[in-house]
Amino acid sequence: MSPTAAAPRLVALDWGTTSLRAYLLGDGGIVLERRAEPLGILNVPERDFRAVFDRIVAEWRGSDPMLPSIASGMIGSAQGWIEAPYASLPADLGSVARSLAIVPTVGLRIVPGLAQRGRAPDVMRGEETQLFGAMAQSATLSSGGVAVLPGTHAKWARIAGGRVEGFTTYMTGELFAVLAHHSILGRLAGATGSDAAPGEAFARGVRHARDADGGLSSLIFSARSTVLVGELRAEDSLEYLSGVLIGDEVRAGLASGDRPRVLIGEPALCARYATALGEFGVVDVDSLGDTAAAGLWQIALHAFPELQRADGSSRRSVSA
């Protein structure tokens, strides 16, 4: 880093199950450098998290061994470095920051994740950080509303007054993977996948889920039966299945009263959800990219007093 470069203020880690994304942040949460490694918690040799952490941050901490560090995601699960017990809802930046776990040997703070208790128990770990980042970045969400985070376990989160008030998890991504790779539907489709931009087969699946009266298992079987009666090409069946599963998720979410205002996550997957929502007449939805670094900065502002500098960043943080 050159002498004129912005000064680093925080090491921020988004440490999930299969991947690790690391950010060096400056004032205001600006990303100075970023790194990505396939070293999620399941891929760390001999569970030596300390060795991975030291290697990732060695250069960044070289001139400042006391540079604050914070991490979110599955690194704080029971299978991670240390377990960070879930914080309860409703949760704001202050309550999450007060619940951070600490790895004492390196001074790493770990974001706890959120638990919804009561009639509809649910959990998230990592998505809460993205939500706080989205609240800081999106004028649409700053006033409240529903944010959808597509993924293996998609989340529909309800936001109000800078707090996460509630959420629902849908195993849409994992269910698609299981059906595509371990069921007769995948054998019917062959080696095709659902990474392409959503097309007519996808939209048809969404519409079938939107208009159906039956349950999900019947909808899923239509990805086979529609091919067998000659109304869908076999190579399009996984696209159709993706539409059915996402469409069923959207149908359930909207039926519960959740109307999304923001999509957060990987652009191609957000595009699928935007297409599906459009088939239900929901078109006024903003799509955000990766908001994890912004969320880690917002949480760190409440955890590390030294970050509260007069650069305006603290005033731009979401109210706790």
pLDDT score recorded for residue 139 = 86
Cβ atoms within 10 Å of 153's Cβ, excluding its own:
18
In whole angstroms, give the CA distance from residue 287 to residue 55: 34
- Read off the pLDDT band of 309 (50, 70, 90): low
Mean pLDDT of 214-228: 93
pLDDT over 50 at 4, yes or no? no
Phi (first) and psi of residue 185, to 5 degrees: -65, -40
Do the two domains 8-125+292-316 and 172-288 of this chain adopt the same fold?
yes
Q: Which residue has the higher pLDDT, 312 or 204?
A: 204
pLDDT score recorded for residue 201 = 95
Mean pLDDT of 92-121: 95
Instruction: Match domain 172-288 to its CATH number in 3.30.420.310, 1.20.1430.10, 3.30.300.30, 3.40.30.10.
Output: 3.30.420.310
pLDDT score recorded for residue 65 = 84
- The per-residue pLDDT of the chain, averaged, comes to 90
- CATH 1.10.3720.10 holds for 8-125+292-316: no
Mean pLDDT of 239-249: 97
The proportion of the chain whose per-residue pLDDT surpasses 90, expressed as a percent, equals 80
pLDDT over 80 at 313, yes or no? no
pLDDT digits (tens, 9 = 90+) for 19-63: 999 999 999 999 999 999 999 999 999 999 999 999 999 999 887
pLDDT over 80 at 266, yes or no? yes
pLDDT score recorded for residue 188 = 81
pLDDT score recorded for residue 214 = 82
pLDDT over 60 at 316, yes or no? no
Q: What angle do CA 23, 69, 26 make, to 5 degrees?
A: 50
pLDDT digits (tens, 9 = 90+) for 113-122: 999 999 999 9
- Read off the pLDDT band of 142 (50, 70, 90): confident
- Read off the pLDDT band of 88 (50, 70, 90): very high
Poorest-confidence range of 48-62, 78-92, 179-193, 274-288? Answer: 179-193
87: Cα separation from own chain's centroid: 17
pLDDT digits (tens, 9 = 90+) for 28-39: 999 999 999 999
Q: Which residue has the higher pLDDT, 139 or 82?
A: 82
pLDDT over 80 at 187, yes or no? yes
Query: In the chain, what are the domain boundaries?
Result: 8-125+292-316, 172-288
Q: Which residue has the higher pLDDT, 120 or 214?
A: 120
Mean pLDDT of 149-171: 96
